């Protein structure tokens, strides 16, 4: 039987949650306890400092403790709150899509830095839609579509478009299979983990992100080969490609682009100084 301690306030709830998460080896125990408290009590960040004595209702308390124990079992925070912030926008997430990662913001920023006003954009393996929807939001007069092999992922992407008030097309397609026409920019964060490395990933990723969104085949490069070899047929003159990569895949992906006839292939590092994006143009 579960024992529920009554009359928790913001501060005691935070402390209890944080201690339980830390004891279970959750790296960001403080942040996660705070995020769950905010989520359950619909309070602002820092509520434990500004209103430490505020009491949780019985419902809030049991929901909060339930979420803490789920998080302690390594269910991702975002699957509990149902949302992840990316490029300052809120994206709904579920187990059907990869949780948007801050690393991927580097790709979006790189497209924007290169100037994409008026561009037509094709985003392959769109998942939650975070790349295409943030580009369409921030790049003036841009238009574009996202594709995914998973209809369930596309449902999440379409909901995210609606939630953020953005007009985007989403089509089910195994990479270019159902794509027509040509685009100015192609983006993708394809599955890139080596099949043999999946078992060693953190449980949040290994057990809760869709395997379909992670598994890049034996050498992790299967999707890059397919995307890079077909992309020239779907790019307008001077069209550009931006691919998220694993930290040790930069040189190989860059070489693939050059071998396919792409020019000025470049590896872009993320804020941790690790290779994160390969870009090139035709
Ligand atoms: N970056 C993800 C991770 O850390 C992998 C994303 C992908 O395969 N595209 O697990």
Atom of ligand 1 nearest to the CA of 125: 9
Q: CATH no. for residue 203?
A: 3.40.50.150
**Does 87 map to a domain?**
yes
| Domain match, 251 and 113 both | yes
Q: Is 222 in the pocket of ligand 1 (CB under 6 A)?
A: no
Atom of ligand 1 nearest to the CA of 244: 9
Task: Please give the average per-residue pLDDT across 14-31, as a whole number.
Answer: 97
| Domain match, 204 and 90 both | yes
Q: Are 160 and 123 in contact (CB under 8 A)?
A: no
Task: Please give the average per-residue pLDDT across 2-7, as a whole number.
Answer: 59
Residue 259, C-beta contacts closer than 8 angstroms, at least 6 positions apart? none
pLDDT reported for residue 49: 87
**Does 253 map to a domain?**
yes
Residue of the CA atom closest to atom 2 of ligand 1? 214
Confidence category of residue 48, pLDDT binned at 50, 70, 90: confident
Atom of ligand 1 nearest to the CA of 189: 9
Atom of ligand 1 nearest to the CA of 214: 8
| Domain match, 55 and 98 both | no
**Does 78 map to a domain?**
no
Cα-to-centroid distance, 3 and ligand 1 (Å): 38
**Does 99 map to a domain?**
yes
Atom of ligand 1 nearest to the CA of 103: 1
Q: Is 223 in the pocket of ligand 1 (CB under 6 A)?
A: no
| Residues paired with residue 185 on neighbouring β-strands, in sequence order | 121, 240
Confidence category of residue 4, pLDDT binned at 50, 70, 90: low
| Domain match, 144 and 182 both | yes
Nearest to 41 by CA among 19, 22, 17: 17
* Alpha-carbon dihedral 128, 130, 132, 137, rounded to 10 degrees: 130
Cα-to-centroid distance, 214 and ligand 1 (Å): 6
pLDDT tens per residue, range 77-120: 999 999 999 999 999 999 999 999 999 999 999 999 999 999 99
| Domain match, 54 and 146 both | no
Half-sphere exposure of 221 (CA within 13 A, CB side): 15
Report the chain's mean pLDDT, rounded to a whole number: 96
| Domain match, 27 and 142 both | no
Residue 20, C-beta contacts closer than 8 angstroms, at least 6 positions apart? 68, 69, 72
Tokens found for residue 213: 């969104």
pLDDT tens per residue, range 165-218: 999 999 999 999 999 999 999 999 999 999 999 999 999 999 999 999 999 999
pLDDT reported for residue 46: 84
Helices (H), the chain: 10-23, 29-41, 47-50, 58-72, 77-81, 105-113, 130-138, 151-163, 203-206, 222-230, 250-259
Q: How many domains does the chain have?
A: 2
Task: Please give the average per-residue pLDDT across 61-75, as a whole number.
Answer: 98
Residue of the CA atom closest to atom 10 of ligand 1? 205
pLDDT reported for residue 2: 55
Q: Is 243 in the pocket of ligand 1 (CB under 6 A)?
A: no
**Does 43 map to a domain?**
yes
Nearest to 129 by CA among 105, 109, 147: 147
CA atoms of 244 and 247, how far apart (whole Å): 9
pLDDT reported for residue 1: 54
CA distances from 5 to 37, 160, 190 (A): 16, 38, 45
| Domain match, 93 and 144 both | yes
**Does 5 map to a domain?**
no
* Region at 145 (left for phi over 0; alpha for psi -120 to 50; beta for the rest): beta
Q: Is 104 in the pocket of ligand 1 (CB under 6 A)?
A: no
| Domain match, 67 and 101 both | no
**Does 182 map to a domain?**
yes
Q: Is 189 in the pocket of ligand 1 (CB under 6 A)?
A: yes
- Tokens 């992407």 -> residue: 157
| Residues paired with residue 281 on neighbouring β-strands, in sequence order | 240, 263
Over 80: is that where the pLDDT of 225 sits? Answer: yes
Whole-model pTM: value is 0.94
pLDDT above 70: percentage of residues in the chain: 98
Per the structure, the complete domain to which residue 173 belongs is given by 83-281
Atom of ligand 1 nearest to the CA of 101: 1
| Domain match, 66 and 189 both | no
Over 60: is that where the pLDDT of 3 sits? Answer: no
Over 80: is that where the pLDDT of 234 sits? Answer: yes
Confidence category of residue 245, pLDDT binned at 50, 70, 90: very high
Over 80: is that where the pLDDT of 139 sits? Answer: yes
| Domain match, 122 and 17 both | no
Tokens found for residue 165: 């008030």
Domain final position from 30, 52, 73:
73
**Does 1 map to a domain?**
no
Domain final position from 19, 42, 73:
73
Cα-to-centroid distance, 244 and ligand 1 (Å): 9
| Domain match, 52 and 123 both | no
Confidence category of residue 273, pLDDT binned at 50, 70, 90: very high
| Domain match, 46 and 147 both | no
What is the secondary structure of 74-130 as a DSSP string?
Answer: T--HHHHH-EEEETTEEEE--TTSPPP-GGGHHHHHHHHHT--TT-EEEEES-TTSH
């Amino acid at each position: 039987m579960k024992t529920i301690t009554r009359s928790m306030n913001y501060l005691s709830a935070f402390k209890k949650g944080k201690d339980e998460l830390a004891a279970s080896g959750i790296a960001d125990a403080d942040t996660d306890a705070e995020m769950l408290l905010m989520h359950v009590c619909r309070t602002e960040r820092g509520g434990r400092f500004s209103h430490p004595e505020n009491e949780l209702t019985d419902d809030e308390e049991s929901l909060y403790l339930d979420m803490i124990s789920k998080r302690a079992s390594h269910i991702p925070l975002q699957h509990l709150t149902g949302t992840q912030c990316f490029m300052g926008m809120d994206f709904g997430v579920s187990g059907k899509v990869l949780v948007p990662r801050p690393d991927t913001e580097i790709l979006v920023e790189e497209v924007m830095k290169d100037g994409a006003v008026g561009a037509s954009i094709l985003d392959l393996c769109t998942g939650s839609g975070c790349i295409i929807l943030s580009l369409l939001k921030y790049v003036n007069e841009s238009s574009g579509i996202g594709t995914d092999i998973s209809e369930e992922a596309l449902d999440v992407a379409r909901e995210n478009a609606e939630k953020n008030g953005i007009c985007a097309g989403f089509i089910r397609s195994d990479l270019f299979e159902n794509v027509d026409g040509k685009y100015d920019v192609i983006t993708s964060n394809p599955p890139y983990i080596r099949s043999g490395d999946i078992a060693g990933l953190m449980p949040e990723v290994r057990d809760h992100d869709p395997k379909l969104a992670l598994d890049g085949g034996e050498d992790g490069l299967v999707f890059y080969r397919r995307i890079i070899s077909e992309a020239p047929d779907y790019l307008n003159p001077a069209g550009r490609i931006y691919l998220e990569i694993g930290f040790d895949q930069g040189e190989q992906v860059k070489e693939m682009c050059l071998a396919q006839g792409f020019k000025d292939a470049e590896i872009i590092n993320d804020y941790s100084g690790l290779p994160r994006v390969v870009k090139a143009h035709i």
